[in-house]
Amino acid sequence: MSDALSNQLLVVTVLAYLAAMIAYAAEFAFGNRGAVARAATRSRERELVGAGGPVLPDTPVVIESAPSGGRAALFGRFAVALTVVGYAAHLGTIVTRGLAANRVPWGNMYEFVLAVCFVGATAWLVLLARRPMVRPLGMFVTLALIVMLFVDAVRLYTAAGPLMPALNSYWLKIHVTAAVTASGVLLVGFVAAALTLIRMGYDDGKRWFPCSLGNRLPAAATLERLTFRVHAFAFPIWTFAIICGAIWAREAWTQYWSWDPKETWSFISWVIYAGYLHARATPSVKKTVATWIAVLGWATMMINLFAINLVVTGMHSYAGVK
Amino acid sequence: MSTVEAPPADRVDSGAPLPRGHGLGPWLVALARRAWRQLTSMRTALVLLFLLAVAAIPGSLLPQRNTKIEDVNQYLRTHGELGRTLDRFYLFDVFSSPWFSAIYLLLFVSLVGCLVPRLRDHVRALLRQPPDGPSRLDRMPAYVGGTGGDPEQFAALLRKRRFRVAVRGTTVSAEKGYLKESGNLLFHFALLAMLIGVAISSWYGWHGSRNIVAGRDGEICNTVPQYDDYGLGARVGPGDLPPFCVRLDRFEATYAPNGQPTAFRAHVHYSQGSSGTESPAEVQVNHPLRISGAGVYLLGHGYAPVIRYTDRFGKSQTSVQPFLNNDENLTGTGAAAFPDANIDPATGKQDPNDQIGFQGVYLPTMSSTDMTRGASLHPEERNPRLLLVAYKGNLGMDAGIPRSVYTLDESRIASGRLAKVAESKALRPGESLTLPDGSKVEFVGTRAFVTVTVRHDPGEMIVLGAAVFLLAGLLLSLWGKRRRIWLRVNGDRVDVGGLPRTDYPGFAAEFDEIVQAARKEGILR
Ligand code: HEM
């Protein structure tokens, strides 16, 4: 089996995500700005008037209800359907790639980014199922996916081939799967953090782009909390990925840690995300500052993925990109 | 994540005025106390974390001595003054530099300073009964009022849900989720344990690397002089290395059609201690051989051409030296030196300028169409060819300076003390080249060699254990939820209040559920 089918499916994936993004954007543009705000107040009221139920006046509201109906919502539902189509094609891309190479399909950088985006899409769909209210963020999530997949296909593509012996270990499956999972979830965390900052900027009276998009976004407190929860989910996975990497390094390169550039940047990202969790737990640090640290964390992840793989050579030179 | 109450570590009041006019002593004590409080504050920890991240960056951009010493030397040669300046600031040894160490040591001091009081507070909280509720439960984030109520019954209900419960008269106080703080402390203490493991690794660990050529004569033993490159921990002497020897019998590599390797296998024999009994073993990438507490790792491989030189007096000598790989297709470059060539059998004397050396390039698979292509097309020996350049003169090997066996002395070639006397065409195994003086060099064939690193790391198990606890602590800490619930009976009136002490969006639901259960059991109406 050749990887031609996989490549064609990738085109389908990107096109479907693109269509989904346009539909999300249509919902975003046509949805009356009140929809979100109304939903916010409504859920607040629901909790306040809840028949004899508990009253939670002081905790920030986490909005659980779906966006209201109408034409905009139709676009929104359409967008979700397209995302699912893209997601199915995305899964197909990875599976056929694995069949073509006859191994786990994350042995080089092209496949790694493909898988990271897949986890990102999974995280997005799970989030969407659990909190339908986050749907207006879909435009940004699909945008991030499209950019990553496009760069991947154009810049990083490598034909399917066997693994080099250094990669031929069950630690590949464990370590890289964990790294892919953490990166994919952190991708969604980054989108949430960026939108939190946009919304916070809007609330501070900034009206220029991109803060001007803020009026259609969920409340800053909701987004900020979402950002935290996504990161709190991803951080232990990232930690686990690094630990597995160290165990593998001890088997393959003799030493559990040798400050290879990739290791160094994983460490930097880990420290920055730890900084984010600390900053968020420190009342004297503003939430804006903490959220910026999360964005910085994603920047270090991207440096690790692109700059370190393509520019600096280390023992991790498995990118396979010529 | 505590959003309701500030974590205890953050009680810094760096603004507290220093006492004045009480002499230097108290002033210094106050200053020290203030500095300590500042150092152990969460803000300082944050700043130090950032510094640590920033400090690591140059270590990833510049070559580092511990991993790529050759690149460092190359950088120093080509960058002159800039290189020397960078070196002065330890930029080629970032991770062992004083400034990097200072940052993480300060961070860990700050960590200890922060952990000790937190541990004390947490142990106290664990020993203590859940605290009494505030006077007005209706001010709590979760609240419901009603009538009825039997405190003991409510306490039993909460105990069943694994709350810690205290009943004081008509008030029930309950708390759950202590594991969150326990996990957080476990996590931070695991970080300390990890640092200790790393320190033990660097004090008591050692490693050495060497190319081993296949065959009995290629055997290496675990002693410092046998290694091309080695490192001993601060508390390790050359005599501390355990005695064992390793010999390569056969090396096997398999390749995909595109030349990409799929598996490497080194079949070896090893003997431990002074017993001399040999055991066979197989070493693979990702599957090191463990002997005497050390790991023997297969890190590379290549070919060592067997070169036989017959001098003009008819005496033959053979060189088997690894040729170092230039590329993935194992194009190798190397040298063969014959310092004892051309000794006149009549006098037993040698003209020191009559020594012979060869520099060579070995192509396991030479292109059969493009003979000018100086690189191998495939890592397997499908069309092996050796190109040799012969040099005559004084090799400079008696000078007592350790010299590379992988190249002749380039400076002697440049200064003409070694003169090029002949250049071969691409020799197949068995072919030979005759030099102008009638002597002859033959390319006999090749032997495989493997590059191994032997490493002993006594701290690694501590680091691994710490990593496991770290992860467990992290999960408990990040996903745990601490919350308190109170019930107070006031005559006919019952108030139930709840307080999530951490970020816990599901608290309302849990509280609701407890209230419903209490209603069902008739504790609350
Ligand atoms: C070696 C450097 C450190 C690292 C890598 C680190 C890492 C972390 C991480 C990842 C968390 C979030 C997980 C959790 O909530 O438990 C955390 C929480 C925390 N850390 Fe650290 N930490 C370090 C040093 C410190 C220091 C020096 C302090 C004290 C000043 C400190 C105090 C705390 C506190 C109080 C929390 C809990 C925050 C909360 O949940 O309320 N940490 N740490």
Residues A84-112 have pLDDT tens digits of 999 999 999 999 999 988 888 888 889 99
Distance from CA of B2 to the nearest CA of A (A): 6
pTM: 0.85
- Residue with the bigger pLDDT between A164 and A62: it is A164
User: Does B112 share its domain with B256?
Assistant: no
- The answer to whether residues B82 and B110 belong to one domain is yes
In the stretch 48-87 of chain A, residues with CB closer than 8 A to chain B read: 52-59, 62
The mean pLDDT value for B220-226 works out to 91
Q: Which two tokens stand for residue A137?
A: 């963020």
Question: How far off is chain A from B449, nearest CA to CA, in Å?
Answer: 17
pLDDT category of residue A63 using cuts at 50, 70 and 90:
very low
Residues B240 and B210 in one domain: yes
Per-residue model confidence (pLDDT) at position B450: 95
- Sorting pLDDT into bands at 50, 70 and 90, what band is B402? low
Contact B56 A264 (CB under 8 A): yes
Residues B258 and B338 in one domain: yes
Please answer whether residues A12 and A5 qualify as being in contact, where contact means their C-beta atoms are separated by less than 8 angstroms. Answer: no
The more confidently predicted of residues A216 and B485 is: B485
Which residues have a Cβ under 8 Å from the Cβ of B396 and sit 6 or more positions away? B403, B409, B412, B417
- Whether residue B471 lies inside any domain: the answer is no
Give SS3 for B287. Answer: strand
* Rg (chain B; Cα; Å): 36
Most confident range, picked from A140-144, B2-6, B68-72? A140-144
Q: What are the pLDDT digits (tens) for B85-141?
A: 999 999 999 998 999 999 999 999 999 998 999 999 999 999 999 988 888 898 898
Residues B418 and B293 in one domain: yes
For residue B2, the chain A residues in CB contact (below 8 A) are: 281
Sign of torsion over alpha carbons A4, A8, A10, A11: positive
Return the C-alpha torsion angle A96, A97, A100, A101, nearest 10: -150
pLDDT in tens, B45-75: 899 999 999 999 999 888 888 777 778 888 8
Residue B343 and residue B284 share a domain: yes
Task: Please name the residue of chain B whose CA is at the shortest distance from the CA of residue A167.
Answer: B286
pLDDT tier, A219 (very low <50, low <70, confident <90, very high otherwise):
confident
Residues contacting B350, CB < 8 A, separation 6+: B340, B341, B342, B343, B344
B200 falls within a domain: no
Percent of chain B having pLDDT more than 90?
55
Residue B463 counted as domain residue: no
Residue B122 lies in a domain: no
Report which DSSP code applies to B18: P
* Residue B363 shares a structural domain with residue B497: no
Q: Do B288 and A54 touch (CB under 8 A)?
A: no
Residue with the larger pLDDT of the pair B409 and A48:
B409
Minimum-distance CB partner of B256 among A161, A264, A268 = A161
What pLDDT, on the 0 to 100 scale, is given for residue B21?
57
- Domain final residue, candidates B456, B472, B505: B456
pLDDT above 90 covers a percentage of chain A that reads 49
Domain assignment of residue B467, yes or no? no
What is the C-alpha separation between A254 and B76, in angstroms, rounded? 27
Burial class from Cβ neighbours inside 10 Å (0-12, 13-18, 19+) for residue B403 reads middle
Q: For residue A174, what is the DSSP state?
A: I
Q: Which residues neighbour B242 within 8 Å (Cβ) at sequence distance 6 or greater?
A: B222, B272, B273, B292, B293, B294, B456
- Closest Cα partner for A3 from A113, A103, A146? A103
- Rounded distance between C-alpha atoms, residue A147 and residue A157, angstroms: 14
ipTM (interface predicted TM): 0.84
> What gap in Å lies between CA B67 and CA B96, rounded to an integer?
12
Judge contact between B175 and B502, C-beta under 8 A: no
How confident is residue A293, by pLDDT bands cut at 50, 70 and 90? very high
Q: Is residue B83 part of a domain?
A: yes
Query: What b/e readout covers B137-149, taking b as 16+ CB neighbours within 10 angstroms?
Result: beebbbbbebeeb
Co-location of B296 and B428 in the same domain: yes
Considering the domain boundaries, does residue B197 fall inside one? Answer: no
Tell me how many domains chain B contains.
3
Token pair, residue B141, equals 């984030």
Closest residue to B49, CB basis, from A162, A256, A278: A278
- CA-proximal residue: ligand 1, atom 42 (nearest): B111
pLDDT, chain A, mean: 83
Q: Which residues of B touch A161 (CB under 8 A)?
A: 256, 258, 260
Same domain, B68 and B95: yes
Specify the amino acid at residue A274: A
What is the DSSP-derived secondary structure letter of residue B352? G
Which of A239, A256, A281 comes nearest B463 by C-beta?
A256
- Quickly state the pLDDT bin for B177 (edges 50, 70, 90): very high
Q: What is the mean pLDDT of residues B385-400?
A: 85
Between residues 133 and 172 of chain A, which touch chain B (CB distance below 8 Å)?
Answer: 161-166, 168-169, 171
DSSP class of residue A134 equals G
Across the interface, do B285 and A252 touch by the CB < 8 Å criterion? yes
Q: Is A22 on the interface with B (CB under 8 A)?
A: no
User: Is residue B269 included in any domain, yes or no?
Assistant: yes
Residues B315 and B445 in one domain: yes
Can you give the residue range of the structural domain that contains B18?
Answer: 9-117
| B388 and B435 part of one domain | yes
CATH number at residue B492: 3.30.310.80
Mean pLDDT in residue range A12-30: 91
Inter-residue long-range contacts of B113-121, CB under 8 Å, 24+ positions, other chains counted: B113/B36, B113/B39, B113/B40, B114/B9, B114/B40, B114/B41, B114/B42, B114/B45, B114/B188, B115/B185, B115/B188, B115/B189, B115/B192, B117/B8, B117/B9, B118/B7, B118/B8, B118/B9, B118/B181, B118/B185, B119/B185, B121/B8
Structure tokens at B253: 């590599």
**β-pairing, B220-221 with B171-176?**
unpaired
Instruction: Based on the fold, state whether residues B486 and B437 are members of the same structural domain.
Output: no
| Distant-in-sequence, close-in-space partners of B138: CB < 8 Å, separation ≥ 6 | B145, B495, B497
Write out chain A residues lying below 8 Å of B52, CB-based.
Answer: 271
Q: Which atom of ligand 1 is nearest to the CA of A239?
A: 10
Best B43, B44, B46 member to test A by mutation, with max A CBs in 10 Å, is B46
Chain A CB contacts of B143 below 8 Å:
54-55
